[in-house]
Amino acid sequence: MTARVAYFDWNAGAPLRRVAAVAMAQAMAATGNASSVHGRGRAARDRIEAARARVADAVNVPADWVTFTSGGTEANALALLGLPDRRLAIGATEHVSVLATAKACGRPVSVIGVDGSGRIELASSPVAIGAGGGDLLVSVQLANNETGVIQDIASIAGLVHAKGGLLHVDAAQALGRVAVDMPRLGADLMSLSAHKLGGPTGVGALVASPDLALAPLWRGGSQEGRRRAGTENVAGIVGFAAALEEALGEIGAMTEVARLRDVIRGAIAAGAPDAVFFGEGAPRLPNTLCLAMPGVKAETQVIALDLAGIAVSAGAACSSGAVTRSHVLEAMGVSADLADGAIRVSLGRENTTEEAEHLVAAWGDLYMRTRARAAA
């Protein structure tokens, strides 16, 4: 019998919720293309529209604002590439899907710096935004996937709108962990992802007013309000909505997740005085801890913990298994040597005190062994 793995990589992907799996199985058992006009087609359409209403309600917008996509990456691409006449300004610590899309779009791109805690430097934002921002699109994460740092989106939105620009917010990591009210935040476009909150992989959404003229990424049928051609993934969409509904009901319980995260942080700090923790000078997601073991590569830590039956990651999990230096920590002014030793511990509803103690013990054992070798 395989031993249970202590899974501390929820920011990479949360375990599929049972309620989502059940909803998906029911949808897959019901044949029907949502674009067909017969009974089975209409039933599939009804499932999608019910899910659309659930997702829209979660971020406090009308249902017709929601365009289902294949995930957060596609939602980010649609937001940035769907407005091709706008110059871009993006946060320095954005998800790689935003950074790569901006780099490849062939348009002027300004980068907005962050302070040592990872928060957007509002004082320097007008420089990046510039004057005459009516043709501007700014893209900023609500919560960072590596450090968990939460940005002051409402203040950023005020600056952007004062220049006549639009604000895109990547809320993939935040949804289901903290309250996300799109109008209150002031976002004009918002990207969401299902698998971060216990839904299936391969489904997400871009949320934006239908009055905003978005060019589709590819041509085909008239699905999703002509914003995304292609037959909808009914099972994935239904699973997304089911997982989201349950996750929203558990946001209050995230205080316990935060407590467990802080227990891990305190125990590691007590046993390793030179351990470094990132983003602590800013509000953070309740489940995220980013830390470094100075002098020990992140890859070494990840492998050692994996051998001990513990799953963590080195920064973001978006590089096909490669361990690369974090651009997020680099933007925060962290030295290369220290950034090379940074790992991310991200928790969820299923983690236990025993697992936390196991993590601390395994990490501490590696720490003591490396220090002993250094002293020999």
Q: Taking a C-beta distance cutoff of 8 angstroms, is the pair 59, 80 a contact?
A: no
pTM (predicted TM-score): 0.95
Please provide the CATH number assigned to the domain covering 6-14+252-375.
Answer: 3.90.1150.10
Give the residue from 131, 193, 125 showing the smallest Cα distance to 159.
Answer: 125
As a whole number of angstroms, the distance between CA 136 and CA 114 comes to 20
As a whole number of angstroms, the distance between CA 347 and CA 288 comes to 7
DSSP 218: S
What integer pLDDT is reported at residue 320 of this predicted model? 42
Q: Where are the domains of the chain?
A: 6-14+252-375, 18-249
Catalytic residue status for 318:
yes
How does pLDDT run across 237-258, given as a tens digit for each residue?
999 999 999 999 999 999 999 9
Topology annotation, domain 18-249: Aspartate Aminotransferase; domain 2 (3.40.640)
One fold for both 6-14+252-375 and 18-249? no
Instruction: Give Cβ neighbours of residue 276 (< 8 Å, ≥ 6 apart).
Output: 291, 292, 294, 338
What integer pLDDT is reported at residue 4 of this predicted model? 80
Sign of torsion, CA 306 310 313 319? positive
- pLDDT of 13 above 70: yes
Question: Which residue in the list 63, 251, 318, 361 is annotated as catalytic?
Answer: 318
How does pLDDT run across 122-141, given as a tens digit for each residue?
776 676 677 666 799 999 99
